[in-house]
Structure 1
């Protein structure tokens, strides 16, 4: 039986975690309707819009609204409380019957709303996690994060290079290496190159009309490449939401801009936009030197490999993307790549500190 009419859950959700979601679900079960108010300060590094979107995805049956609150918290200062309440009531002007929190200030917040205070798991026994802990070490708190937040925080590593330079081999080897570390890393995901799947489908469609067709008979148009880039992005996002703190991608939308040059010539602005829409954190460029060219039925242009390597290198440099070039035998390439990924992970996530609180 739902005891309350309109319930309110208020917080920074910086970022949201399992404790927050338990609070919201508990409140939703006890109220006829529920509002979640996301309060973000301008100094914080996760945009308000992202936090609102994450909470809406996690709680589709709940009204989620957001507001900017740049007032430092001082639980001992009535004037500060008054200032916060002006922000809160401007965002949620309706009558509130119950305020749900897991914080010591819950009773005072509810009193100021003229509502009943409901404390939920204040000692955090069910979900021993906090926003502070997540910001300090997301990997350690990974199991407490919902898919949208995992997708946003996962470090995305791209392996790219000219044809037949070992990109797929290296991307899969890296995936196996990090899965082998166990724990949260056991869920490390690999995203295959959609462009190859697309190419296979093109060749199959051609052979359905001309059974003797070969790869060199396949033609690409500029309109093929935005589809390839967007599908690659979508598959990456799905994998990032369900994997570990690191994701390995066999090529990406940025690489597709160079493949467009290779097969069509020039640039396609739609592919460029797709490449800039998703944040990646490290690119591993596989050198063609010392790697035999293997024609698997979907490859040609062995003589173009030096040009492709140079174009990838030039575009990575021009766009300021962080990259490491891997050379040598397979084992040496894997060692170089693991060292680069470990260095990336060691840099952490760099959340800016929230506004100070005085209790």
Structure 2
């Protein structure tokens, strides 16, 4: 239970799990401190527990600079997750001081960072799931509120997520998933199976895939043209530089939206590099805007046109261009710094090749730098 110290400030400690919510003490200003590397459901539960008992809560995100996820990203993710609370303020400060729970001077250095981040308003309670929460609260002359220290309510930790994001995917919020997701782009000539492959891979991995925005725009442009000229075909559709910029922006917006709800792999039917090839096809060259928009996915899958019957659905240029287009894609992908796997043979053979490449991508894991670790002291 909470008690009043000699100076009139709240001190002592309380265990949230042992205190009925209706009888729990209330606080003016709570504080939560952590690396949030990355933020996960356990962090969100901790912050929500603090918000339920405080008029305001300041969340201090305090990683070291050696860590792989930028501070600004973590702050933005937490702000998004708790925007609806109205009580939660998220601030970020880099804290590169060593971690040594036995050294008072190190504690002083860390607390100076936290105090500067929190500002002048006194802290009444420190909410934490870690053992250091009690000492941190003592140094702020506040109540230590321990929340789910055994990780029973939310069995996850930042260490576990970093070691194996796939297994712990369900504990990650949409923006964090989007940061971790591995994007696999399928490119290829017309009627070479890019859409079929993207959809098949999404089904295999029970995840999302992103259709080709350029095809959607082509259909819209043709439909609009046919309102004036009912006999118009796809060869009557005209293109300009702004159209290809729209394709890139539309494709990437759809991709980013899908990444937030995707599994660990996201399959994309084309991207900006492929759009650059199509811009060259129609306008004779590629604009710097489209070139500059190119991203670095985790993997390219290039569908060979050989052995795939041409299906003229009314939106295609023609079978005679497929060999040229396959060659241009192959040239475009060489030297881009992204692994590329060519898919050939039957659909079953192509799918097996693609799955093997994607399985290897997942098996490689995520390379995240270790945080600063606590000092160990001999006995």
Q: TM-score, normalised by structure 1?
A: 0.94
Q: Which is worse superposed, 28-37 or 303-312?
A: 303-312
Aligned ranges 1:146-295 → 2 under 5 Å: 146-179=173-206, 188-276=207-295, 279-295=296-312
Offset from partner CA, 1:81-108 (integer Å, 9 cap, x none) = 0111121122222221211111111111
Partner residue in 2 for 1:182: none
C-alpha deviation, 1:337, in angstroms: 0.6
Matched, 1:13 2:30: no
Instruction: Choose which of 84, 94, 105 in structure 2 pairs with 1:79.
Output: 105
Aligned ranges 1:96-175 → 2 under 5 Å: 96-175=123-202
Partner residue in 1 for 2:365: 348
CA distance in structure 2 between the aligned counterparts of 1:10 and 1:307, rounded to whole angstroms = 57
C-alpha deviation, 1:358, in angstroms: 3.1
Give the secondary-structure state (helix, strand or coil) at the position aligned to 2:369: coil
CA distance in structure 2 between the aligned counterparts of 1:129 and 1:280, rounded to whole angstroms = 28
C-alpha deviation, 1:292, in angstroms: 2.1
User: Computing the radius of gyration over CA atoms, which structure comes out larger, 1 or 2?
Assistant: 2
Residue pair 2:312, 2:318 contacting (<8 A) in 1 also: no
C-alpha deviation, 1:254, in angstroms: 2.6
Matched, 1:327 2:344: yes
Residue pair 2:175, 2:260 contacting (<8 A) in 1 also: yes
Aligned residues: 349
Offset from partner CA, 1:191-240 (integer Å, 9 cap, x none) = 11111111100000000111111110001111011111111111112212
Instruction: Choose which of 71, 77, 82 in structure 2 pairs with 1:48.
Output: 71
Q: What RMSD, in angstroms, separates the aligned Cα atoms of the two structures? A: 1.4
CA distance in structure 2 between the aligned counterparts of 1:253 and 1:58, rounded to whole angstroms = 30
CA distance in structure 1 between the aligned counterparts of 2:56 and 2:272, rounded to whole angstroms = 42
C-alpha deviation, 1:262, in angstroms: 1.5
CA distance in structure 1 between the aligned counterparts of 2:289 and 2:57, rounded to whole angstroms = 40
Partner residue in 1 for 2:26: 3
Residue segments in structure 2 that go unaligned for 5+ positions in a row:
1-21
